[in-house]
Chains A and B, each alone.
Chain A
Amino acid sequence: MATITEREAKAITSAVLGAAMAPEVIVSVRHRQTGNLRFAQTQPTTEGSVETVEVSVSATIQGRSATVTGNQTDKASLAALMVEAEELAALSPVNPEHQPPVGKGAYLEVAGHDPATAKLDAAQRAAIAGRAIAAAARADVELAGYLEHREQSFAVATSAGAFAYHPSTAAALTVTARTRDQTGSGWAGAESHRGKAIDGGALTELAAEKAELSAAPQALAPGKQVVILEPQAVAELLEFLVDALDARAADEGRSWFSRPDGGARLGEELFHTSINLRSNPADKQHPSAPFTADGQAHKIVDWIRDGVLSSLTRSRFWADKTGTAAVPPPSSILLEGADLDLLELVGAVDRGVLVTRFWYNRTLDPRTILATGLTRDGTFLVERGKITAAVKNFRYNDSPVNMLQNVLALGRPQRVYTRGGRVMVVPPMVVKDFNFSSTSDAV
């Protein structure tokens, strides 16, 4: 059940490029073998062993471009895909922002493939889920969860000579424990490129403890509060800011990063001086993709350095137009922290609210990156350094900008669960004046 090797990937991309009449072609191949197991009501519900393939071909003829994606890899299908891309491109209007494909370049060495994780199967899924279910039974909570592992081969080639291949693995488990009377709910999750980092028993014990602690919550008045945001909550809010790091939107006046008199706010101290936000695809513990689907390299980037905005993402068109370097949206985000446990942060707070995670987060106002959402699965009152009560969930209306400006303390960074999306490693944070706008009865 292995995914394609570099040689097999190259055979596919070469078959496509070899069939091309168009002068400019980009081809990418993504081959996945995924295993998953869902459980709820403390028993397995559905599961799957799924193979997927994506071959994506972009063709450009005299500034006219089109992208076609298929999932069949026989020679005839690949040639047909190339022809369809060319036919569509010829029919398409000229794109004045078209950029020629990237040429041969250097990519970071990333070790993201763990052979043991690639070999996980239904029996091992059941074993991990079985430990979670047994822990839930011991704690007398109702458990729901999701376990997924996958192996992936990803390759890109261009008519300008670029070729890149990246094999990787990923595994993740999330669990939600609910008290029998349905008044308490706790969540825990883990994600890694190594399956052995996933401990179903330990995660379930943490979720069960949170469920019990969160039972029968009291309503606390909304308003501005000191909050201790666990890494999962930090990441969920931070993501809005990462997605807003776009130079063109800033230059065109459509972003929080726009300078009122035009241009972007690069070089300005926009955040607390303790904030350092970086990307590093080659991070040993938390590897991520070293290139994009069009063959651009993901590099080590400092986005925010000591609170100063130092980089923005920039499309190749915008980089060309403004005479600057192109920077693709990152495959990993690392927010630096300090060597402190979550409970050490809690211990330093006189009065505040501890937030496990957020839910249904949506942008409200792109001008200020204002977002809304709700706390979920473990929201607690902290008094004099101790968790003293469960509190009802809150809706927040606040911005990650404020989070990065109003930070009081940072803890130890931790990989968070992103459903297989961008790798995010962020610390728990203590933040002042966080705006809770209303409460919710949801458990």
Chain B
Amino acid sequence: MRPMSTSRRGFLRTTGAVAGAGVCWPLVARADPPGSRQRAPVKAPASGDLQLLAGSPLLADEALAARALAAATRAGASYADARLVAWQRERIAVSDDHIRGVQRSSEYGLGIRVIAGGAWGFAATPRLDPRSVEDAAKRAVAAAKINAGLRREPVELAPLAAIVGSWVSPHTIDPWTITPQDKAELLIRASQAALAVAGVDHSAAGVETQREEKLLLSSEGARIHQLLVRIRPSLTATAVDRRRGQFASRDHEIAPMLAGWEHLEDAKLVDDAPQIGEDAVRKLHAAPVEPGERTVILDPSNLWLTIHESIGHPTELDRALGLEANYAGTSFIDPRQTGALELGNEMINFVADRTQPGGLATCAWDDDGVGTERWKLVENGVLVDWQTTRDQAHWIRAKTGDKAGHACSYADSYASVPFQRMPNVSLQPGPEGYTREDLINATEDGILITGRGSWSIDQQRYNFQFSGQFFWEIKNGRLARPLRDVAYQANTVEFWRSCDMLGGVGSYRLGGSFSDGKGEPSQSNAVSHGCPPGRFKVNVVSTAGKPSKGAK
């Protein structure tokens, strides 16, 4: 597999000289975290400034976490881990020319997870005092023992050498050092620049930042301290045609990243805003789409979500085995098909990677304490591996040789149980080095779709329907005119088999989401997907509802 660039300006700044050389993977780590990462097939992702962890308030409660572990072990746990997790979130939102909201939240507490009698137990408390954490540990063990009576076989954890290590996600500007006023002023400038476009009636902009810090201790001796900083900018313009009762919105296609404030500075929202406004007006007056079998070119800003839904979710091993049947669903893929199922044609290669710079799911160790890595899920169109955790490895070991799981465990709060969550899953670029323009020029009749629109897919991930932000009709290799109300519907396997052109390394981009939902109670995971533009055959549908004048 050839090295690639994520091509995001924000990311390039974040990783400095290494990225500047145009080779971002495999990465030459700037500062290896201390501690061992035995058996991890790649080096740890580059760390940011580890000094940021030195003054952490979590350290003051480390003894309490150890106390919870001891209480769990005394109560009969065969395994226990304690996580101190501190979250800080900030949201700044503006509308038109004014502020709409400044919100900050913080959350801190301890979650204790145990295995007792062969079953999982978990308890969590925001009260960090000896009695509260010991009570939580005892509750977790007692519940595990009760539930063990209903289990048919014990939970099995893959053997793992205990790791001691620290990691900080690379970022150059801590978002919490920029005042809300400065953030809002930048957003208002962008919003006003969109609003200034004739025909734009409303605009909005926002930025959401996350700071997630966690200290994991386990009864096996693990001690892992990590800090993750993420940022999500947004900008939207809306044009309204009152006479026709029509309106259209256009979102900027910027991706959220594992990065600091530098991502927003590099994003040039203010410079892009007039274009976003003009696009909203053009979208409002665009021609309606002609439904039917069509060729589409999907820009990375659109294709990443299709990857997430149609490849990311069905290759979660827990889904395929029925563990998520009651909510997120199962998978159209049977694990027995590993190594045989053709999910796409031979151009199609998917890689899972929790070490990818800038990727929202990137970290050094997962919440089970397993070192993160990069591995192949689909090779030349064939399913070869799965997303797994330490307690799932034995289910698939005979097929894939999975030793300790692929480090996909994550919990979104001190109050949440870690379980299998999606790593960054990315489509590899084609070897021909095509640009997006090459794909357009090679297309007689088709539609270019960019950005994220409405999305929906069934619970086994066969039938999907995605829209986008902007749609161009392609005629004779040229962008002919904007279209509106476009969505594409397809069957996952037919879709990936229909791909006949992929962009090259230079066209590869990351997209992503802060809020992939899974599990009960539902947890949120941040994840990125990289891809080049691709050309596919799909069923294009119109999303325009018929204007209704009321009953009868």
Contact = CB atoms under 8 A, between A and B. Distances in A.
Question: Which of B140, B184, B463 is the most central at the interface, judged by chain A CB atoms within 10 Å of its CB?
Answer: B463
B454 A50 contact: no
Contacts of B325: 40, 142, 144, 176, 178, 185
A364 B545 contact: yes
B129 to A, nearest CB: 10
Interface stretch (B16-24, B26-34, B42-50, B101-109): B101-109
Contacts of B102: 65-67, 88-89, 92
Interface stretch (A111-119, A368-376, A382-390): A368-376
A442 B454 contact: no
A182 to B, nearest CB: 8
B149 interface: yes
A66 to B, nearest CB: 4
Given A53-B126, A66-B102, A92-B180, A44 B147 contact: yes
A66 B100 CA distance: 10
Interface string B453-489: 0111111111101010000000000000000010101
A183 to B, nearest CB: 12
A311 interface: no
Contacts of A70: 105-107
A37 B456 contact: no
B545 A365 contact: yes
B551 A271 contact: yes
A359 B329 contact: yes
Interface string A421-432: 000000000000
A95 interface: yes
Contacts of B136: 49
B150 A66 contact: no
B149 A367 contact: no
Interface stretch (A125-133, A284-292, A319-327): A125-133
A69 interface: yes
A84 B522 CA distance: 30
A253 B146 CA distance: 57
Interface stretch (A100-108, A257-265, A343-351): A257-265
Contact of B323 (A40, A373, A376): A40
B543 A67 contact: no
A47 B202 contact: no
Question: Which of A44, A94, A125, A133 is the most central at the interface, judged by chain B CB atoms within 10 Å of its CB?
Answer: A44
Contact of B149 (A41, A91, A126): A126
Contacts of A145: 326
Contact of A365 (B105, B455, B544): B544
A142 B551 CA distance: 45
Nearest to A275: B551
A350 B408 CA distance: 50
Interface stretch (A9-17, A159-167, A213-221, A393-401): A393-401
B321 interface: yes
A51 B240 contact: no
Contacts of A42: 152
A361 B459 CA distance: 12
Nearest to A261: B242
A441 B324 contact: no
Given A47-B121, A122-B142, A367 B543 contact: no
Contacts of A365: 485, 543-545
A368 B547 contact: yes
A51 B107 CA distance: 12
Nearest to A67: B103
Given A66-B104, A262-B242, A442 B181 contact: no
A265 B462 contact: no
Interface in A34-50: 34, 36-50
Contact of B454 (A43, A51, A363, A401): A363
B234 interface: no
Nearest to B107: A71
Contact of A368 (B329, B461, B548): B548
A69 B139 contact: no
Nearest to B148: A44
Interface in A278-317: 307
Contacts of A185: 325
A93 B147 contact: no
A95 B521 CA distance: 36
Contacts of B104: 66-69, 84, 88
A129 B399 CA distance: 33
Contacts of A363: 454
Given A176-B326, A265-B550, A442 B332 contact: yes
Given A95-B100, A361-B456, A43 B184 contact: no
Question: Which of B185, B419, B462, B521 is the most central at the interface, judged by chain A CB atoms within 10 Å of its CB?
Answer: B521
B306 interface: no
Nearest to A123: B146
B505 interface: no
A405 interface: yes
A93 B550 contact: no
Contacts of A142: 322, 325
Given A144-B325, A399-B545, A253 B242 contact: yes
A49 B462 CA distance: 36
A393 B332 CA distance: 14
B463 to A, nearest CB: 4
B462 A440 contact: yes
16 contacts: A43-B150, A45-B323, A46-B120, A47-B120, A47-B147, A49-B143, A66-B102, A89-B102, A122-B139, A126-B149, A178-B330, A260-B242, A364-B543, A367-B246, A395-B465, A440-B460
Interface of A: 34, 36-53, 56, 65-72, 84, 88-89, 91-97, 122-123, 125-126, 129-130, 133, 142, 144-146, 148, 174-176, 178, 182, 185, 187, 252-254, 256, 258, 260, 262, 265, 268-273, 307, 359-370, 372-374, 376, 393, 395, 397, 399, 401-402, 405, 419, 437-443
Given A51-B124, A93-B188, 9 more contacts: A38-B326, A44-B119, A44-B150, A52-B415, A126-B146, A148-B520, A260-B245, A367-B547, A399-B548
Rank and list the top 7 A-B pairs by shortest CB-CB distance, nearest first: A368-B545, A370-B545, A440-B463, A69-B105, A122-B143, A442-B458, A442-B460
